[in-house]
Amino acid sequence: MVWLDMVVLEVFSTELNNRLAAEITRLRTLLTGEGGGEAAGSPLTQGKDAYELEVLLRVKESEIQYLKQEISSLKDELQTALRDKKYASDKYKDIYTELSIVKAKADCDISRLKEQLKAATEAQGEKSPVNTTVSGYDIMKSKSNPDFLKKDRSSVSRQLRNIRSKSLKEGLTVQERLKLFESRDLKNN
């Protein structure tokens, strides 16, 4: 792609140079009167024609200068784009290599940890958990019975059991006993 752009610029530059050379040759032949009698006429007309040709020549030269600057600018932009492309390509290769290394290390760590886990569970005499799946929170469970409510209920039940066993051990006041019965009645409802 970049090579193609360079070729297009070179062709464009060559074409402009050829047109410039042809225009300069044409103007010189008109100025010198070597055009086979084309410039024949009164000296005043020749002077006016010569002046117009000089102005035209200056205009063409300025156009050529502008086009040369444009070509130079495009070449600079192309060189900058090539440098940017090379930098981005090198950066991509570096990042890809780094990610490959990190992935390989992670795979090795996972394998090592699985082996350690397997050895530890076999040392305890348990079934190897390598093929078992870890259950996570299932979002598709009923909204009326989520896991976090089950955990809260079980912790409340434990607290009530602790209070009841305390009442048997230490003997609670009448108010504390009533509170226990009220909480049990609320739980049953």
Q: How confident is the model at residue 25 (pLDDT cuts 50, 70, 90)?
A: confident
Q: How confident is the model at residue 102 (pLDDT cuts 50, 70, 90)?
A: very high
Q: What is the pLDDT of residue 8?
A: 81
Q: What is the pLDDT of residue 125?
A: 81
Percent of the chain's residues with pLDDT above 90: 29
Is the pLDDT score of 76 beyond 60?
yes
**189 or 123, higher pLDDT:** 123
Q: What is the pLDDT of residue 161?
A: 61
Calpha distance 121→128 (Å, rounded): 6
What's the mean pLDDT in 178-188?
A: 66
What's the mean pLDDT in 136-149?
A: 50
Q: pLDDT averaged over the chain?
A: 75
Which pTM was predicted? 0.38
Phi/psi of residue 156, each to 5°? -65, -40
Q: What is the pLDDT of residue 144?
A: 52
* Ramachandran sector of residue 21 (left: φ over 0; alpha: ψ -120 to 50; beta: rest): alpha
Q: Among 134, 135, 115, which Cα is nearest to 123's?
A: 115
The mean-pLDDT minimum among 29-38, 74-83, 131-140 falls in 131-140
